[in-house]
Amino acid sequence: MPRYALRIEYHGTPFAGWQRQRDQPSVQAAIETALARLEPRAHTIAAAGRTDAGVHALAQVAHCDLAREWDPYRLSEALNHHLKPQPVAIVAVARVADDWHARFSARERRYVFRLLMRRAPATHDRGLVWQVRHPLALAPMRAAARHLIGTHDFTTFRSSICQAQSPVKSLDTVELNAVDGPSGPEIRFDLRARSFLHNQVRSIVGSLERVGTGAWSPDDLRTALEARNRAACGPVCPPHGLYLAGVGYPDDPFAV
């Protein structure tokens, strides 16, 4: 059966997450239902990462096996037709080798988090940013983030229901940048790693926000990391500012 890689964009608000769940809408189920319209049977697709309820994606990657050969462009057009009106789009499709796997072939995941700083309620960006009503100091947040770079035991920043075999992860990049977003001043967080623990990004961003307010110092974040204790974590920020922004592979299947 020919295998296809799908690059997927979605608005996470109406979904209970990526993974198919009983009696709740999911992105996976939406795409599998669309595939069944093209080839009537049960379909199971695998993704590079399982985003939580309310988390968005700019470039999720999944793969599917189909019974016949499809032109990639025609497949993307057909899937997008059957996905309407759900906020899910197949941005690109590529034919891949039979042993290529969206999750296990991946070498990097990139997440972006948008934090909006303004007092007035967000309107156009509602559900797309985490809004705080106070300014944050960027320099100490950047200093604190440097303590997270490298290989560490991230138990402090790991959900209690995380199913990963080990809390040890290597965080390659944690960049913070001040930007003029469409709704006002934002801090954009860019995090890259081969893989992440459940709630790791939201836990890190929530703790860095404490540094930005002055409630924590940069060294307090290092102390929290070294505690290897979930109780030492700052508040976990909400999901709606988080985006799966990209997945890296040794050879980009979507390269022209």
The answer to whether 36 touches 47, Cβ cutoff 8 Å, is: no
Q: Which of 52, 153, 190, 220 is catalytic?
A: 52
Cα end-to-end span (Å), the chain = 23
| Cα–Cα nearest to 243, from 115, 143, 120 | 115
| Cα–Cα nearest to 244, from 61, 13, 91, 21 | 61
Tell the residue number behind the tokens 């959900």, with chain if given.
Answer: 159
| Cα–Cα nearest to 44, from 33, 57, 56, 59 | 33
Q: What share of the chain is helix, strand, coil (3-state, %, to 5)?
A: 25, 30, 45
190 is catalytic: no
For residue 163, what are the CA distances in angstroms to 117, 166, 191, 196, 238? Answer: 33, 9, 21, 11, 20
State the catalytic residues. Answer: 52
